[in-house]
Amino acid sequence: MSMDFKAGEVFAIDKPYHITSFGALAHVRYVLSHELGYKVKIGHAGTLDPLATGVLVLCTGKATKRIEEFQGHTKEYTATLQLGATTVSYDLEHEENEQFPTEHITRELIISTLQQFIGDIEQVPPTYSAVKINGDRACDLRRAGEEVTLRIKNVHIDEIEVTDFDAEKMLLSIHVVCGKGTYIRALARDLGRALGSGAYLTALRRTRVGDFTIDKCLDYEQIKEWLVQTDK
């Protein structure tokens, strides 16, 4: 099965932990360009946080015009939240900066509180995010010590399921089905507040974007081998 990367191919990789979406894309572009002998035009359809893993859809050549289409597709995530504390980025990029009471938190309270986040909701993106402010990424401004204020966005969450809750460690695992622009870190932040406590992500994995599921993703380290196979 020969592929035409100039005419346009769409595929997904399983983005590794601690690599930015742009870094992952740059790696794939380098491998493709090096192996094919010409610079491959490539873009990704929806940023994943550096500390998140999972489905990252890549479009090459003329298929880069379809990026917005793929960004609009339904997404699924699995996430683990630490309740009772926050970090400034609402994930493990930073140390805990505040602790909150958790004695009142039960599985029943969590399930009932989550109902307010299902459907069409308003959400303020985390300031440590790729949201652009006058051309600069909000996260870069924050890391440079600048104050950042982001606008409320309307997002849609189809469902949130509690998959595990460790009441002793206050660790909550959830499965989320949502639409474009939904930040799971913002959901963690807002859930923590709604519970009269705090919360941040300790793990985040995107398991689906539209028809692309984890089992259909290419291994980040096996791009060259995949190319060789598709050329046969």
Active-site residue set: 49
Q: Is 228 exposed, middle or buried (0-12, 13-18, 19+ CB in 10 A)?
A: exposed
CB 167 within 8 A of CB 107: yes
Tell me what percent of the chain is helix, strand and coil, each rounded to the nearest 5.
30, 35, 35
How many CB atoms are located within 10 Å of the residue 135 CB?
Answer: 5
Sign of the CA dihedral running 50, 114, 177, 125: negative
**Token pair for 52:** 């998140």
